[in-house]
Amino acid sequence: MIAIGFEGSANKLGIGIIEHSTETGVVNILANIRHTHVTPPGTGFLPRDTAVHHREHIIPVVKEALKTSNVQIKDIDVICYTKGPGMGAPLVSVAIVARTLALLWNKPIVGVNHCIGHIEMGREITGADNPVVLYVSGGNTQVIAYSEHRYRIFGETLDIAVGNCLDRFARILNLSNDPSPGYNIEQHAKKGKKFIELPYTVKGMDVSFSGILSNIETIKNEQSCSPEDLCFSLQETVFAMLVEITERAMAHIGSKEVLIVGGVGCNLRLQEMMAQMVEQRDGKVFATDERFCIDNGIMIAHAGLLAYRTGFITPLERSTCTQRFRTDEVYVAWRDAN
């Protein structure tokens, strides 16, 4: 079975084509094309401009994906698109293409929860069986564990997402957004040495990041701290918070596996800190690289196809988008109860 996935919930436009063997269940990635809307340093991406970007590039990207995969349109079984969560305007611009193609090619359509896409792709690539999932990106920060056909949220951010914190921090320091603000922070942090104290807010299994931003705004001019030191301290602080809540979730449910997904998940320092924590607990860390961590069409195709194989189809009149779509709202029919 072959599925094509459309992702455009934020500034990444991704189209992926995936094949699931119906007999063996082996997953084959046929195409994974991405085009990112990069804004000048000091600015972020706005919903309207991002939607314009997606509209401009989606047709060439779809064509490229079809060409790379060598798949004929008639071989595609299902069209999957991101239903939410994400920014409204970009979501719509991509969903309308998915819907139009569904009508044009006469294919069924499946709306996919973006977070579930990340989790399922991470599980598939790493082979992690039943891990505690740390989902960290520009829009989401959640610690998730699976139980009874749902991905349940154990802890999450109380205000902004960790990726949002990093992005806005990069904006304060005027770092480049190419290829991503997080990547540039990571490179700067490698040169940082001095640890500057920043607010550390863990409440039970939840975290909060907004205080860090306001704190940095006040200290960046006052003290003689270089951007490198600030990047270093920021990473050390926010990642320690994330590792701490992940550890609590692991202790709570008695799991030994951790899977890191989402755009921030490709940060090597986060992966390293997580590995140090897990080592103390005799566990294992699973993480993926930028191809699958950062938003992509493949994960939407994969999660959509998993649902489609259980008989799930989104009726055309319900193929809408929504900005709010929690991870635990999705009924996970394709996994066993525990």
Partner 1 sequence: MIENATLIKQGAEARIHTAPFLTRTAIVKERFSKAYRHPILDKKLTARRVNQEARCLFKCRKSGVDAPALYFVDTEDSTIYMEFVRGTIVKDLLVTNSEYIQNKGKQDELAKKIGIALAKVHEIDIIHGDLTTSNLMLRESNQSLVVIDFGLSYISSLPEDKAVDLYVLERAFLSTHPNSEEMFTEILDNYQKTYNASQWVLSKLAEDYGDEREVWNVQCGTQGKVIHRASMFKLNEEVTLASTIMSSSRSYNTKVFYGPPKCEPERSEEIIEKGCDMEYWSDPVGVKKIER
**Contact between 46 and partner 1 (CB under 8 A)?**
no
| 116 counts as binding partner 1 under rule CB under 8 A | no
**Nearest approach, Cβ of residue 29 and partner 1 (Å):** 26
> Would you state the structure tokens that stand for residue 152, as one six-digit string?
């349940």
**Could you write out the three-class secondary structure of 166-182?**
HHHHHHHCCCCCCCCHH
For the purposes of burial, counting CB atoms within 10 Å of the CB of 289, is it exposed (0-12), middle (13-18) or buried (19 or more)? exposed
Nearer to partner 1 among residue 12 and residue 83 (C-beta): 83
With respect to partner 1, which residue has the nearer C-beta, 105 or 195?
A: 195
The two three-digit tokens of residue 55, written as one number: 């509209």
Neighbouring-strand partners of residue 147: 150
Residues 6+ apart with CB under 8 A from 193: 228, 229, 232
- Pick 93 or 177: Cβ nearer partner 1: 93
Query: Are 281 and 256 a contacting pair, CB within 8 Å?
Result: yes
Q: How many residues bind partner 1 (CB under 8 A)?
A: 62
Is 125 or 132 the residue whose CB approaches partner 1 more closely? 132
Could you write out the DSSP letters of every residue in 16-79?
Answer: EEEEE-TTT--EEEEEEEEEE----TT----HHHHHHHHHHHHHHHHHHHHHHHT--GGG--EE
CB nearer to partner 1: give 41 or 88: 88
The pair of three-digit structure tokens given for residue 39, joined into one six-digit string: 């804004």
52 contributes a contact to partner 1 by CB under 8 A: yes
Region near partner 1 per CB under 8 A, out of 4-12, 13-21, 31-39, 266-274: 266-274
In whole angstroms, the minimum distance from the beta carbon of 75 to partner 1 comes to 25
Residue ranges at the known binding site for substrate:
135-139, 167, 182, 186, 267
Ranges of beta strands (E only) in 8-156 are 12-20, 27-36, 78-84, 109-113, 132-136, 141-147, 150-156
What backbone phi and psi angles, to 5 degrees, belong to 317? -70, -10
Residues 270-329 that bind partner 1 (CB under 8 A): 272-274, 276-277, 279-280, 312, 314, 318-326, 328-329
Binding residues: 114, 118, 135-139, 167, 182, 186, 267, 295
Angle between helices 210-222 and 227-253 (to 10 degrees): 160
Q: Which is nearer to partner 1, 32 or 237 (CB)?
A: 237
Q: Is position 193 an interface residue for partner 1 (rule: CB under 8 A)? A: no
57 touches partner 1 (CB under 8 A): no
Alpha carbon distance 215, 233 (integer Å):
12
The answer to whether 308 and 78 are in contact (CB under 8 A) is: yes
The closest alpha carbon to 253, from 138, 136, 164, 338, belongs to 338
- CB under 8 A: which stretch of 21-29, 59-67, 163-171, 237-245 binds partner 1? 237-245
Q: How far is the CB of 86 from partner 1 (least distance, A)?
A: 10
Residues of span 6-35 touching partner 1 by CB under 8 A: none
Nearer to partner 1, 69 or 237 (CB): 237
Binding site for partner 1 (CB under 8 A): 48, 51-52, 83-84, 88-89, 91-93, 95-96, 99, 145, 147-150, 152-155, 195, 197, 200, 204-205, 236-237, 239-240, 243-244, 247-248, 250-253, 272-274, 276-277, 279-280, 312, 314, 318-326, 328-331, 333
